[in-house]
Amino acid sequence: MSSRILIAEDEARIASFLEKGLRANGFSTEIAADGDETLRLGRSGRFDLLILDLGLPGKDGIAVLRELRDEGRALPVVILTARTSINDTVKGLEGGADDYITKPFSFEELLARVRVRLRGDRVPEPTVLTVGDAALDLRTRQAVVGEEIVNLSAREFALADAFFRHPGQVLSREQLLSHVWGYDFDPGSNIVDVYVGYLRRKLGKHRITSVRGMGYRLEGGQPSAAANDA
Ligand code: CA
């Protein structure tokens, strides 16, 4: 049976972005658009995890969380918060949230948090993804190429994360946009190409291959077929 996730988010495009992505990954979902509904569904016992936006109409996310925890409910909670609301986030963690993620977030990042929370502490999350002679450290958010440590910006890290989780697979621009830039992207922009350029400069040009008309592939995992380098 698939895990059931309650999405508490009043902004429709974000809620639907989350719902679509989570369902595509085998979760079942329900959306609550205000604090009272979140509280009602959160108490129902029907969910395995709550994704909780802090800025909800009616009761805000912190109040909802406090009530659930005061009632002794152990439902895992991942908070969604704007980068500018770090104080609220700290309150949220003190109020019993398990984790938080700042907006705008990438779907990959959210999915990783959700999976960790659903697994509990039974299976440790891998902290280093290795592909060929390169590795991505998920704790320090740095890459290691050979012996050299490479610092990455937040977006570069998110993009590298998508590639290192799918070595040898072609990832389309749309997939990468959705995973890294989330709901916050302009589908017509060339931002993916620009950031792939940054990653190539940092990780080595040969490491990410362009597959014409399809997208990009991280090399170094499985031996690849004839190069399609554009
Ligand atoms: Ca909101």
* Structure confidence by residue, pLDDT tens digits, 2-35: 789 999 999 999 999 999 999 988 899 999 999 9
Question: For residue 8, what is the enclosing H or E element?
Answer: strand 4-8
Q: Say how many CA atoms lie within 13 Å of 71 toward its Cβ.
A: 13
CA of 159 to the centre of ligand 1 (A): 26
SS3 32: strand
Say yes or no to pLDDT of 225 above 70.
Answer: no
* Structure confidence by residue, pLDDT tens digits, 166-222: 899 999 988 888 888 876 677 778 899 999 999 999 999 999 999 998 999 999 854
Question: For residue 144, what is the enclosing H or E element?
Answer: strand 142-145
143 phi and psi angles, rounded to 5 deg:
-100, 155
* Structure confidence by residue, pLDDT tens digits, 46-71: 999 999 999 999 999 999 999 999 88
CA of 103 to the centre of ligand 1 (A): 10
Q: Measuring CA to CA, how many Å separate 161 from each of 4, 18, 19, 89, 215?
A: 25, 19, 21, 24, 16
CA of 220 to the centre of ligand 1 (A): 41
- pLDDT for 85 equals 66
- pLDDT for 83 equals 62
CA of 7 to the centre of ligand 1 (A): 11
**Nearest one of 148, 138, 99 to 121, comparing CA atoms:** 99
Residues in the chain: 230
CA of 54 to the centre of ligand 1 (A): 6
Say yes or no to pLDDT of 224 above 50.
Answer: no
CA of 136 to the centre of ligand 1 (A): 32
**Nearest one of 60, 45, 83, 72 to 8, comparing CA atoms:** 60
Amino acid at 82: A
CA of 52 to the centre of ligand 1 (A): 9
- pLDDT for 73 equals 87
Asked if residues 215 and 170 have their Cβ atoms less than 8 Å apart, the reply is yes
* Structure confidence by residue, pLDDT tens digits, 79-131: 988 766 667 777 777 778 888 888 888 888 899 889 888 876 544 557 889 99
d(CA 171, CA 184): 19
Q: Are strands 99-103 and 77-82 parallel, antiparallel or unpaired?
A: parallel
